[in-house]
Amino acid sequence: MIRIRVMIVVALAIMVFTATAAVLSGLQNGAKAFSGDSALVISSEGAPTIFSSQIDNGMVQALDSAKDQFDRELAVSPEVFAFCSYGGESFIVRGVNYSRFGSVGPSFDRFEVVGNFSIYDKSSAMVGSGLMKRLGLDVPFALPLVGSYSTKMDLVNVVGWFETGTTMDDELFVGLERARFLSGMPSSKISIIRVSSEDPAEVRDILSPEDARFTIYGFHTSKSVVSVGENFTVDLAVRNWGRSPGTVQVSFALQTPAESGDVNVSLDNVTASVNATSSIVVSRQFALSALGEHSVLASVGGDFPVTLETDIRVVDPYIRYWGPSRVMLNEAFNITVLRYDGVPVPSATVTFLNQIFLTDAVGRVSLLADSLGDYSIEGNAVGMAGFNVSIEVADPLEFPNEFMPVVTGFQLSSDAIKASDSVKGIVQLANGGTVGGSFDLAVYVDFLPGQLFLYNVSLGSLDSKQFTFTLEDLSVGTHYVHIGLFSDEVVVEPWYADEPGFVELFVRYGGTTELSDPGSIPLYQAAKISQGNVELALFSIGAIAALLAGLAITAVFSKEIHEGRRRLGILKTIGASRRDVMILVSPQALVKGLAGASIGLVIGLVTAEWLSRSGVFMLFGHRLTIDWSEGLLLLVLVAAVAISVVSALVSALVAVRETTISAIRNLPEEGVRLQEDLQSIVDD
C-alpha cells in the first residue's frame, strides 16, 4: 500500500529540518563560545556587546578580597577581547592571565610551548589548534595583527599552541596588556571577568540579586574632637546593589570603653528607602555629655550585616598656641590661636610684653619682638581654658652669616583617619642664619621605598614659617611620619568593621556590572537585538522549518494513499471495515515513517557536524558548534513518526468514504490488473 519512496521523502524532510535546526542551535549558543564551560560572565552595565564592555580592573582585587564570604570556592579570570585579522581571516584575540584562566577553565587538553620561549613575554602568544589549522601556521611564528575595529597594528610571536576541546580553540591568546593595546582599551580596564564556582546560583544571588540588598559606607563625622554638649553631624551612605528598590533600617549607637567592657548605647534608628542600584546619604546630628574617647557605630542587618565605626573625643573646651618658639629682635611675627579641634578662634585675647591684642577672623595676630630675652605669650577666650607659652627674642648678630634651615616642630592634623581620607602635616620651620635660601624638606612615611616625599621650601634671613602638606592614599594600619628629629603617627582605620573587602566590592561595583549565564552574554545587542528577540527569531525560523517538514511528510502520505484508493475500494467491496483499513495502513506508515525519520535524523546530524567542522559557518571568529540534547533528538523522531502515521490514517479514512462503485469505476477491463491489485492487498 505504502511504497519505499515515502520513506525517502520522510528521510529528506527530516534531514533538512535536522540540519537547519542544528545550525540554528549553534547560532543561539554563539555567546557560550566566549565563556568556556559553565563560567558566569561579568560585563559592564548597559554594554551592547562584550567587545564594548569595560570593567574597572580593581573589581578583580575586590572579588579576591571578598572570597571568604562565598560558601564555595570562587575563581575569577579577567580578560580583554580584540578582533584582529590575518590573511583574510578574522579571529578573536583574547587577553588573559594564564594562571587565573586555568583556575576558571576550561582546562587545557594540550598546551605546548616550543623551544625555550616563555608565554609570559610581552610579545608572546598562544594559538588555538582550530585557528592554527585555519591560518596554516607552524609555530614558532611571527604573526602580524591588524585590528578589525581599530587602527592598531602589532606583531606577536606565536610560541606554542593549545587545545581545550571548546570553541576557544579558534582564538589567539595574548597577555592582557597586548590585548588592551589592540583594542584601544585603557590600562585600568578589562572586557569581562569570567567567574567559576561550585554553586553558580550563590554567586548570582550575591553579585546580581533580584531583590534589594544593602550595605553602608562613607561614614564621616563633622568633628573628631568636641566639647561636652557640642553638636556634631554624622553622614553615612547607604547603597542598594540589588535590582529592586527597598527599605533598610540603619542603627546608630555610641560605644564607650569601660572596665567591664565596652558599653553600647543606642543613639537613633533611621529607615532608609533606596532605589535599585542606587545610593543615598543619611545625616544625623548628635551631642555627647561624657568626657573621654568614644566610638560612634552605624550598622545594618540582613543577609550581609555591616558595622562601621568612627572615633570621637569629648573634652573640656580649650585653646592652644601655634607659632614660633624663637624670633629675632625687632621682628614682626604671626601667631595663631586654635581651638581644641584645630578651628581658629577669632576675638581671642593675646598678651605679649604687657600688651593685649585681639585675634582676627582667622585666629591670627601679629606681634613685634622689640626687647631681647625670654618672654611669655598668654592666650584667653570666653568659655575655654587658655594657654601660656614661652618665646625667645634673640639678637640676629649672634647668628652665623649662612643659610641654616631647621625643623622646630611637627605634628599631624589627626592621630586617626579612615581609609581613603587624607591627613595634613604641619611643620614649623626656622632659618638659623642670616642668609635666605630654599631647601628640600624630606618627609618619610614608615621609611619605606617610594614613601619619601620632597617639598621645596624657601626661608628668608632668620625667617620662621609654617609649612603644610597632605598625605593621601595611606593603607590601613599605623603609619609613622618622620621629619628631621620629629615624628608623629597616624592610624588609618578601615571604613568597614565587618568584612571590608566584601563591602568594598558592592560599594564600588554593585550595580555597575551585569552577571550573565554563558548563553546570555551580550553579543547581538549591538544590532539593537535583545537576547529575547534573538531567541524568538531563531525559534520562528525553526518552527517554519518544522512546519515545512511536516507538510512534506503529510503531502507524500496523502499522495500515496490517494494513488492507492482503488485498492481501498476493493477492500470496502469485499466487506472491509474502517478499522480493517486502519489496521492495514498504520503498521506500514509506522515502519516507513520510523525508518525514514531515523535515516534523515542521522544524515542531518552528520551534515550539520560536517558544516561545523568545515568552518563554513563562523560566528564572531568561532566555528559554529552543534549542541543537541538526546531528549530533543527523540522528540524530533517521535514527531516525524507521529506525523507520518496520522497523515496516512487521515488520508485513508477520507479515501474509504468514497463509495465502492466510485473507487473501482475506472478499473481496466483487463482482469490482469485487477488480479495484481488483489494480490497486492493479500501481500499487504
Q: pLDDT for 241-269, tens place per residue?
A: 888 999 999 999 999 887 767 788 899 99
pLDDT digits (tens, 9 = 90+) for 13-72: 777 777 676 666 665 555 565 666 556 888 877 666 777 788 888 888 778 777 766 656
* Topology annotation, domain 319-493: Immunoglobulin-like (2.60.40)
Helices (H), 475-563: 500-509, 531-563
pLDDT 10s digits, 70-82: 656 788 889 998 8
Q: Is 674 exposed, middle or buried (0-12, 13-18, 19+ CB in 10 A)?
A: middle
| Edge-first strand listing for the sheet containing 306-315 | 225-227, 306-315, 292-300, 246-256, 263-274
| Beta strands per DSSP E along 275-346 | 278-287, 292-300, 306-315, 319-322, 326-328, 331-339
Is-contact 625 167, C-beta < 8 A?
yes
Question: Is pLDDT above 70 for 562?
Answer: no
Evaluate if residue 594 carries a pLDDT over 50. yes
| Nearest alpha-carbon partner for 643 in 222, 89, 14, 163 | 14
**pLDDT on residue 511:** 59
Question: Is residue 467 a contact partner of residue 454, using CB atoms and an 8 Å limit?
Answer: no
DSSP state of 123: T
Range 307-335 average pLDDT? 88
CB neighbours of residue 594 within 10 Å: 18
Residue matched to cell numbers 572615633: 311
Cell of 347: 576675638
- Per-residue pLDDT, averaged over 468-485, amounts to 89
Nearest to 601 by CA among 11, 8, 6, 9: 11
What confidence tens digit (pLDDT) does each residue in 89-118 have?
Answer: 888 899 999 888 888 878 888 999 988 888
**Residue labelled with grid coordinates 545594618:** 300
- 309 pLDDT tier (thresholds 50, 70, 90): confident
pLDDT band at 303 (very low <50, low <70, confident <90, very high): confident
Q: How many CB atoms lie within 10 A of CB 177?
A: 13
Strand partners, 344: 338
Higher pLDDT, 43 or 361: 361
Judged by phi (left if over 0) then psi (alpha if -120 to 50, else beta), residue 157 lies in beta
Quick one: pLDDT band at residue 652, thresholds 50, 70, 90? low
Q: What does the alpha-carbon distance between residue 401 and residue 63 come to, in Å, rounded to a whole number?
A: 61
Predicted TM-score (pTM) of this structure: 0.57
278 Cβ neighbours under 8 A, 6+ residues apart: 239, 240, 511
Q: Where in the chain is the domain with CATH 2.60.40.10?
A: 214-315, 319-493
pLDDT digits 0-9 by tens, 193-236:
888 877 777 777 777 788 888 888 878 888 888 999 999 999 98
DSSP code at position 149? S
Degrees, nearest 5: CA angle 149-151-152: 100
Q: What percent of the chain has pLDDT over 90?
A: 24
Q: What is the mean pLDDT of the chain?
A: 78
Phi, psi of 400 (to 5 degrees): -70, 155
Question: Which residue in 584, 593, 577, 582 sits closest to 680, CA to CA?
Answer: 584
What's the pLDDT score for residue 421?
A: 78
Q: Report CA 203 to chain centroid distance, whole Å.
A: 12
Cα distances from 404 to residues 329, 400, 433, 435, in angstroms, run 18, 9, 5, 8
CB distance 247 to 301 below 8 Å: no
- The set of cell numbers assigned to 76 is 575569577
Quickly tell me which residue has 535583545 as its cell: 530
In words, the CATH class of domain 214-315 is mainly beta
